[in-house]
Amino acid sequence: MTPPQRVLVTGVSNPLGSEVARRLSTQVPYLFGCDVNDPVSALEDMDFVHADTRQSVIGKLVRQLRIDTVVHLAVVIDSPREDRATHETNVIGTMNVLAGCAGPSSPVSRLVVKSSQAVYGARPEYPSLIVEDSAGIGRADSPVSRDLAELEQLTHDFALRNPGCRVARIRLGYRMTRETSLGRYLSLPLVPTFAGFDPRLQLLHEEDAAEAIARAALGDQEGVFNVAGDGVLVLSQAIAIMGARATPVLPPYGRWASRVAVRFATGVRIPAHMADLLMHGSVVDCSRLQTEFGWRPTYSTRAVLDAFALGQTEEPIESPSPPQEYELQVYLQRRRRERRNGHGSAALALSR
Amino acid sequence: MSRLPADDLYSGTQSQRRRTSRNARVVNAPPPLLRLPRTMRRLQRQAPMLAIHGLSELSGRLRDLTGHELIDMARVMELMQFVYRQQQLARRGADYAVDDFGFDAEWTESFLPLFKILYRDYWRIETAGIEQVPAAGRALLVANHAGVLPWDGTMIKTAVFAEHPNPRHVRALVASLFMGMPVLSWFLRRTGQTVGHPDDTRRLLERDQLVLVFPEGVRGTGKLYQDRYKLRRFGRGGFVSTAIRSGAPIVPVSVVGSEELYPMIGDATPLAKLFGLPYFPITPFWPWLGPLGIIPLPSKWRIQFHPAIHVEVHPPEAADDQNLVMALADQVRDTIQQGVYENLKLRRGVFV
């Protein structure tokens, strides 16, 4: 296995994407990122391209830039809205990326696709620790789970039809940040819970998620991998750690009404797959990740929540406004290109 | 969560500074407006001790009068301990850990005094062959199932924890149906049960746990009174395959007395369908007496643990040999059925 030379990261502007790019930038000679939105933080060693995966530009991009490794992170796994746009991004976007990487003329020999634990859904009849090959995937009835199942099926078919390309699907566990539904939900001072249910939760730290994807991009392991923190917490325990109070007010039947009620009362949207999670819980088995990657997430479920609870008390750092960052990025890219062309010092002198 | 802003520490007047100083002493809460006299407060504090003194006095008098132990002080102290333990556990907040299956050993053990009262005083259970349960290492306990509600599982768990020289927790497997019900879903998991899935059985056995399985399932609990002590089909022998794969011996367990808890004279199938239950029992007391109908009758119980059937001598490949598996399943079933008949003969009557 040759180490990757030219890596393309799609969806690089979301927080996870930029973290993955930051990790890869020190390991990879040529790093390219594409997204619809401008990246939030500038990365000197990355070339940023405005490209939408929902259009068929990836094929051209991959061939023009002679990309050998594609990290597909333009997948929405936790959206407050479950609308057509999410479906377009997840299914049509992935379809375009796969089409771009397929075929004999494609230089791509490694593909990493982001997915989520949400693909399993949460059901009472599932085993306590779900393994990657569990039957019943795709039977989940929430829009996100359905999209993810379809996306994974497409990826699986791609892997079968393109034996020259080594494909890994990374199923990330539920993450706790200010942006995720679970993070917003557990940040409420009074947390509405389903009466008579206290499910087990398993969480994944943002750093571990990025590290898993970066390792997958640099490695050549094939197949599906669960990534989630060690150990479990029960929901009431998690709420206690957050210093909040559980209010078991949601009836276990008629979940749609409960979700609407929570949204009106607290402003937090609970996606359908999370309503299932908050009733039945979902815990995955990460032993395949450990045996094949020789690595396991460093944060346990408890540590993830402790870190999140600690971070809640601190003010978020004001991020610089994106347009400035983008201009800086363009400037740095230009400077690097000029340096590579051999008249770096002159260009620098001019720009000064 | 509220922190002192650092800027304010050394600004403001003397009195303000004293209030925000880190060296400030902790001041007791102001006394409530209405305060009971000192004697009353002392009485309030000493009430539990006084109650115990009074009870022991009464117990002694009654013993002298009647010559029988009418109030057993040991039992009373156990109950007091139970209440005290529950108070202690309520105060631990999030400071506890559950295993991957959601089992909280500390919390489970706190309920033991209650179940011991049922075990010794209500059903007067006689247990034989407890030494057949291995003191360490894995084993699969297989028992007959009866009596509408799974009291037999509770009592087998209590027997192994209370009578075994090396108290161990038994992890019972539960139908997924109950895992989706409010309250039951978390209570069963918190007390060590898990869903009846082959993956879960294998995982628990590999962690050297004692696993209890009722191969009859709801067919056993939902049978009519006229069919009592006639064992139903033992599933498809899946428990034998799992035991062979995990290298665990099978310990057959016969339970007598559980059939008479709720003598089921009919099954209201339409009602069962309406509530999504496997059966809706009609007994002489349920549903006519409302909640009182849930009180089980005080039948006389016997539990017998049989010598282990060492299925672990077979290689793991033998688990796929359906012929062998069914033969072993029948052997286990016959052992249990024989044990049930023998124990019925040893019992003098249903309630004595």
Please give chain A's pLDDT, 352 residues, in tens.
Answer: 688 999 999 999 888 999 999 999 999 999 999 998 888 776 778 888 888 888 888 888 999 999 999 999 999 988 777 678 889 999 999 999 999 999 888 999 999 999 999 999 898 989 999 999 876 665 667 888 889 999 999 999 999 999 999 999 999 999 999 889 999 999 999 999 999 999 999 999 999 999 999 999 999 999 999 999 999 999 999 999 998 999 999 998 888 899 999 999 999 999 989 999 999 999 999 999 999 999 999 999 999 999 999 887 665 555 555 556 666 777 777 777 777 665 434 333 333 3
Same domain, B311 and B181: yes
- Structure confidence by residue, pLDDT tens digits, B278-309: 899 999 998 889 889 889 999 999 999 999 99
Same domain, B115 and B236: yes
pLDDT at A55: 84
Residues B93-115 have a mean pLDDT of: 93
Q: Is residue B278 part of a domain?
A: yes
Q: Is residue B82 part of a domain?
A: no
Judging contacts by C-beta atoms under 8 Å, the chain A residues touching residue B102 are 128, 200, 232, 234, 281
Q: Is B207 on the interface with A (CB under 8 A)?
A: no
Last residue of a domain, one of B252, B271, B295: B295
Q: Is B94 on the interface with A (CB under 8 A)?
A: yes
Question: Can you give the length of chain A in residues?
Answer: 352
Whole-number Å distance between alpha carbons of A331 and A183: 36
Q: Do B194 and A128 touch (CB under 8 A)?
A: yes
pLDDT at B316: 94
Q: Is residue B22 part of a domain?
A: no
Same domain, B174 and B269: no
Q: Which residue of A has its CA nearest to B198?
A: A127
Q: Is the pLDDT of residue B352 over 90?
A: no
pLDDT at B244: 96
Give the range among A187-201, B68-82, B180-194, B256-270 with minimum mean pLDDT.
Answer: B68-82
Same domain, B154 and B275: no
- Report which of B102, B67, B103, B212 is spatially closest to residue B153, judged by C-alpha positions: B212
Which residues, in sequence order, are bridge partners of residue B171?
B211
Same domain, B308 and B326: yes
Gyration radius of chain B over CA positions: 27
Same domain, B249 and B274: no
Same domain, B286 and B202: no
Q: Is the pLDDT of residue B10 over 80?
A: no
pLDDT at B222: 87
Q: Is residue B4 part of a domain?
A: no
Same domain, B247 and B130: yes
Whether A15 contacts A172, CB under 8 Å? no
Pick the residue of B184, B186, B209, B274 with the most A CBs within 10 A to test the interface with A by mutation: B186
**Residue B205 domain boundaries:** 105-260+297-346
For residue B81, give every residue at least 6 positions away whose Cβ sits within 8 Å of its Cβ, in sequence order, or none: B113
Same domain, B183 and B306: yes
Cα→Cα distances A45→A30, A36, A245, A251, Å:
8, 19, 46, 52
Q: Is residue B48 part of a domain?
A: no
B 234-293 residues inside an 8 A Cβ radius of A: none
The CATH number of whichever domain residue B119 belongs to comes to: 3.40.1130.10
For residue B348, give every residue at least 6 positions away whose Cβ sits within 8 Å of its Cβ, in sequence order, or none: B300
Q: Is B183 on the interface with A (CB under 8 A)?
A: yes
Gyration radius of chain A over CA positions: 21
Average per-residue pLDDT for chain B: 88
Whole-number Å distance between alpha carbons of A282 and A126: 8
Whether A186 contacts A238, CB under 8 Å? yes
State the nearest Cα–Cα gap between B2 and chain A, in angstroms: 8
- Write out the DSSP string of B20-74: H-TTPPPPPPPPPSS---HHHHHHHHHHHHHHHHHHHHHHHHHHHHHSS--S-HH
Question: Phi and psi (nearest 5°) for B330?
Answer: -65, -40
State the nearest Cα–Cα gap between B194 and chain A, in angstroms: 7
State the nearest Cα–Cα gap between A34 and chain B, in angstroms: 39
Q: Is the pLDDT of residue B18 over 70?
A: no
Which residues, in sequence order, are bridge partners of residue A246?
A191
Question: What is the reported pTM?
Answer: 0.85
Whether B48 contacts B80, CB under 8 Å? yes
Judging contacts by C-beta atoms under 8 Å, the chain B residues touching residue A126 are 195, 197
Same domain, B184 and B277: no
Q: Do B101 and A243 touch (CB under 8 A)?
A: no
**Buried b / exposed e along A8-31 (16+ C-beta atoms within 10 A):** bbbbbbbbbbbbbbbbbbeebebb
Count the domains in chain B: 2
Whole-number Å distance between alpha carbons of A287 and A303: 19
Same domain, B278 and B157: no
Q: Is residue B266 part of a domain?
A: yes
Whether A107 contacts A68, CB under 8 Å? yes
Same domain, B266 and B135: no
Judging contacts by C-beta atoms under 8 Å, the chain A residues touching residue B98 are 200, 232-234, 237
Q: Is residue B73 part of a domain?
A: no
pLDDT at A326: 65
State what percent of residues in chain B have pLDDT above 70. Answer: 91
Q: Where are the beta strands (DSSP E) in A14-129?
A: 30-35, 46-50, 69-72, 110-116
pLDDT at B299: 95
pLDDT at B67: 84
Q: What interface predicted TM-score (ipTM) does this complex get?
A: 0.84
Q: Is residue B83 part of a domain?
A: no
**To which CATH superfamily is domain A6-312 assigned?**
NAD(P)-binding Rossmann-like Domain (3.40.50.720)
